[in-house]
Amino acid sequence: MSEGKEWKYEVKVLQLEKAMRVPKKLTEDLKKALSRKMISRMKKEAVDCPVLGKRVAFLQCYACPNFIRRVRGIVYCRGEKLEG
């Protein structure tokens, strides 16, 4: 039954006390799609990225081409190698 799944990883979203640094350009790009309140809340969330092998801000994960969806604190990730 799991043959047809489109994701490789299920990653838990972590709540942080302080916001993680996010590149300004990324924040500016996301302002077109998300509210300011949602962006500030997402800055205080992180994921342990299986592709990059490190903890990244959820906003960075959200903008990643591997991001499929987020449901109940779980991010579904394609897990494909990133270029660059």
Predicted confidence band of residue 1 (pLDDT cuts 50, 70, 90): very low
Supply the pTM of this predicted model.
0.81
Query: Is 82 among the domain residues?
Result: no
DSSP state of 39: H
What are the tens digits of pLDDT across the range 21-70?
Answer: 888 999 999 998 889 999 889 899 999 999 889 999 999 999 999 999 99
The reply to whether 83 falls in a domain is: no
CA atoms within 13 A on the CB side of 64: 27
Q: Does some domain include residue 45? A: yes
Q: Is residue 84 one of the residues assigned to a domain?
A: no
Within-domain flag for 52: yes
Q: Which residues contact 76 (CB under 8 A, 6 or more apart)?
A: 6, 7, 9, 10, 67, 68, 69, 70
Give the residue with greater pLDDT, 3 vs 42: 42
Task: Look at residue 57 and tell me if it is in a domain.
Answer: yes
